[in-house]
Copies of this chain bind each other. A is one copy, B any other.
Amino acid sequence: MAVEMTTFDLSFTTSGNTDVIDLTRQVLDRVAETSLEDGQVLLFVPGSTGAITTIEYEHGAVGDLKEAIENLAPEGKYYRHNERWGDGNGHAHVRAALLGPSLTIPVISGRLQLGTWQQIVFIDFDNRPRQRRVIMQVSGKTKKKTKPRG
């Protein structure tokens, strides 16, 4: 097996405030570029106020998720973190730690193994618009080049 590992930066802007961004298209395009046959895609958030997960990316479900997260760590509560930096994003740190920064998805026969109604989302918990970056690492064996018939 020829094992390859390729790294990509997924870059995008968010409006902050628990903005939920669908990264599925970007991820699928990068997988296609690599000619990966069987392997894995790791997605990692290099920061402490964002998280990554999957959901059916549909307006209702996304709104429901935002509301559940607001109940889990309400923005209006007192946060000790805000006393230190005064940046008012204490709730963002708690939310990000609870949801987690990493996600791994298998690829089989070149196909990312998401369910039909399952999309990859980055959630920006910070309290302002941000330029964001998610690290995508593709590893596994690549397709054999087939000899052209001649």
Interface residues of A (CB under 8 A from B): 1, 3-5, 7, 38-40, 42, 44-48, 53-56, 58-61, 63-65, 68-69, 72-73, 79-84, 90, 93-94, 96-106, 108, 113-115, 117-119, 121, 135, 137, 139-141
Dominant SS at the A interface? mixed
Question: For residue A108, which residues in chain B have a CB less than 8 angstroms away from its CB?
Answer: 7, 135
Copies of the chain in the assembly: 3
Q: Which of B1, B54, B60, B82 contacts A60 (CB 8 A)?
A: B82
Inter-subunit contact B96/A137 (CB<8 Å): no
List residues of chain B with CB within 8 A of the CB of A60. Answer: 79-84, 90
Residue contact A101 to B59, C-beta cutoff 8 Å: no
Give every chain B residue within 8 A of A7 (Cβ-Cβ). Answer: 38, 106, 108
- Cα A81 to Cα B80 with chains together (Å): 32
B118 touching A47, Cβ below 8 Å: yes
A5 to B107, CA, bound (A): 11
Q: CA separation between A99 and B7, bound complex, in Å? A: 26
Residues of B within 8 A of A48 (CB): 54-56, 61, 115, 117-119
A80:B63 contact, CB within 8 angstroms: yes
User: Across the interface, which residues of B come within 8 angstroms of A117, CB to CB?
Assistant: 47-48
Are B40 and A105 in contact, CB atoms less than 8 angstroms apart?
no
Whole-angstrom distance between the Cβ of A133 and the nearest chain B Cβ = 9
Q: Is the CB of B104 within 8 A of A42?
A: yes
